[in-house]
Amino acid sequence: MSENFNRAIRSFVLRQGRLTKGQKYALEHLWPRYGIETNNEPLDFNTLFINSAPITLEIGFGNGESLAQMAKAAPEQHFIGIEVHRPGVGRLLHLIEEYQLDNLRVIHDDAVEIMKHCIPKQSLDCLQLFFPDPWHKKRHNKRRIIQDEFVQHVHSLLKESGTFHLATDWKPYARHMSKVMEANAHFQNCAPSPFSERPEHRPLTKFEKRGLKLGHGVWDLLYKKI
């Protein structure tokens, strides 16, 4: 692994925000059941879920609504979400209880650190990264999570033919994502052009719906490990 990847990449700006009563309740009472405590040791997925099934990991699930919908629509699969913001974690825990989801677990931590220390190699069927911070200003572009070293690490965590699914609503970042992914010989684009149509299994978020109404574009990229 390169020195750059080890240098604490951040895909977020830490804004914890205020917790609602529901989020506080979820963090206090639902975390012990659905939360994953990490200790820099590889996770044993067989102990986290009641059976063996394909596993999707999502980095930065926001308020969790999209991830909860995906887990609800695919009970035959397992999902793990990582989010650094406590309000989002609390919201997703609430949704897990509301939808009675036994196939979804939550990690409250920095995704890059979890990926480096806690996700076993070649263990994921899919890794999702939707709407990461685009770091708009040119001098901040180097902070973008999608860099060569990060993508190579994603490759090491995916099973053979596993999928890396990205999405952004910032066109310059979409071009950057495409450039980085196309330069990696260990991934193959699932679409004939740089960008894919949004697959049906990825629900539209409220933020995304609002943007589309305003005429903003959204770009999905799906790549398969080869």
| Residues whose CB is less than 8 angstroms from the CB of residue 170 and which lie 6 or more positions away in sequence, other chains included | 134, 136
Identify whether 169 is a catalytic site residue. Answer: no
| Residues forming beta bridges with residue 163, ordered by sequence position | 126, 224
Q: What are phi and psi of 41, to 5 degrees?
A: -115, 150
CB atoms within 10 A of CB 67: 28
Rounded to an integer, what distance in angstroms lies between the CA atom of residue 107 and that of residue 109?
6
Is residue 80 within 8 A of residue 55, CB to CB? The reply is yes
Ramachandran quadrant class, 8 (left: phi over 0; alpha: psi -120 to 50; beta: rest): left
Smallest CA-to-CA distance from 13 within 85, 64, 79 is with 85
Q: Residue 106: phi, psi to the nearest 5?
A: -130, 140
Residue among 109, 133, 169, 220 flagged as catalytic: 133
- 78-83: strand order across its sheet: 104-108, 78-83, 55-59, 124-130, 158-168, 219-225, 187-189
Q: Which residues are catalytic?
A: 133
